[in-house]
Amino acid sequence: MKKLTIWLTAILMAVGLGIVVPGPASATTSYCGLVWGSLTKTSDTTSTASITNVRTGQHYCFDRMVVDLNGPAAGYTVRYVPQVVQDGSGFTVPVRGNARLQVTVKAPSYDGNGNATYNPANKAELSNVSGYQTFRQVVYAGSFEGQTNFGVGVRARLPFRVFTLDGPGSGSRLVLDVAHFW
């Protein structure tokens, strides 16, 4: 019985001191359990809502961009592109980072009378993302013919997901999460 107690104590101490550690994760295990992928995400939902704000946040496993709308969520297309391009003009919008996501929201940033519902003070820096693990820059690439484009510069081509949320109130949100790692 004394030997068993000594062995049990030695094992518990080894685990507590980090001498005994679990083996490496298998190749099928993804970062933070995320299995999003990096291919184009799209939704053809239509809406009469307009964009009112864009904001970002940091989370343990990903960086997040949120587009606020003043009505039901609109459709979207989010994809990696070599360059972020403005609709209508075709001009390239400079975006920092080793990879770029073009976020097209099927909602304008103006109302039915042509008045701006979202007019960022600095179109080249919608949110201060310095210190973010994945995001390098978030830019406004214009609103044309009922849809609005944003560019998101990221550290590398990483998995992402896109979804919509209702609220607050009668508004809604389009959410883009980009993982920190694969």
Which 8-state DSSP code applies to residue 73? P
What's the order of all strands across the beta sheet hosting 99-105? 41-43, 76-81, 99-105, 147-154, 135-144
Instruction: Please state, in angstroms and as integers, the Cα–Cα distance from residue 112 to each residue in 91, 140, 150, following that order.
Output: 25, 20, 21
Instruction: Please state the separation of Cα 28 from the chain's center in Å.
Output: 23
Please give the model's pTM, rounded to 2 decimal places. Answer: 0.82
Structure tokens at 65: 């961009």
Q: H-type helices in 25-150, by residue range? A: none
Residue 4 one-letter amino acid: L
- Helix/strand number for the chain, H first, E second: 1, 11
By DSSP bridging, strand 135-144 and strand 84-85 are unpaired
Give tens-digit pLDDT for 91-136: 999 999 999 999 999 999 999 999 999 999 999 999 999 999 999 9
β strands within 82-155, DSSP E:
84-85, 92-93, 99-105, 135-144, 147-154
Q: What is the rounded distance in angstroms from the CA atom of residue 134 to the CA atom of residue 124? A: 17
How much is the average pLDDT of 143-155? 95
Q: Which domains does the chain have, with CATH numbers?
A: 31-179 (2.60.40.3500)
Residue-wise pLDDT tens digits, 5-63? 665 565 656 555 544 444 444 344 467 888 899 999 999 987 789 999 999 999 999 99
